[in-house]
């Protein structure tokens, strides 16, 4: 078994892989991640609409954190489809991305709630979106 999101995104993001995607056969999902989109509190953004208006007003000036996987694959697809110009800052470690978000070095991060929760509770990250069907697990 392996983390599926990276293996799902890799064929679309990388030209050469050390494995054949067709050799991987899903057996069962072993986790259920609550997904969130957050911004640094210092950005003073209260909604996704406000965030995307800021991105439109400053094309190419804002950036977002991503760790290769399904979440950043979907977020980047949304940005392209909506015509929004943000630069991706790639991270290997999701906690480093959350820490940089909390300090305002990146302006957006889409991640598992468990990764950003300590910084949300510390008042440094504002959640703008959270997986709706699991809203009870999200912080207010």
At 123 the pLDDT is 95
At 21 the pLDDT is 77
Query: Which strands sit side by side in the sheet containing 108-112, from one edge to the other?
Result: 87-91, 63-67, 108-112, 35-40, 125-130
pTM: 0.75
Q: Are 113 and 128 in contact (CB under 8 A)?
A: no
At 92 the pLDDT is 86
Burial, 69: exposed, middle or buried (Cβ in 10 Å; 0-12, 13-18, 19+)?
A: buried
User: Per residue of the chain (140 residues), what is the pLDDT tens digit?
Assistant: 555 566 667 777 778 888 887 777 766 656 566 778 999 999 999 999 999 999 999 999 999 998 877 778 788 888 999 999 999 999 989 999 999 999 999 999 998 888 899 999 999 999 998 875 554 556 55
At 135 the pLDDT is 47
At 114 the pLDDT is 87
């Amino acid at each position: 078994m392996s983390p599926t999101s990276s293996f799902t995104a890799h064929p679309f993001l990388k030209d050469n892989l050390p494995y054949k995607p067709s050799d991987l056969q899903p057996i069962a999902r072993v986790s259920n991640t609550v997904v969130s989109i957050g911004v640094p509190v210092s950005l003073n953004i209260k909604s996704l609409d406000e965030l995307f208006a800021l991105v439109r007003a400053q094309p190419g000036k804002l950036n977002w954190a991503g760790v290769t996987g399904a979440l950043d694959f979907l977020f980047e697809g949304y940005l392209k489809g909506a015509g929004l110009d943000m630069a991706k800052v790639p991270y290997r470690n999701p906690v480093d991305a959350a820490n940089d978000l909390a300090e305002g070095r990146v302006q957006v991060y889409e991640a598992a709630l468990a990764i950003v929760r300590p910084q949300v509770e510390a008042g440094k990250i504002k959640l703008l979106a959270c997986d709706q069907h699991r809203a009870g697990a999200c912080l207010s």
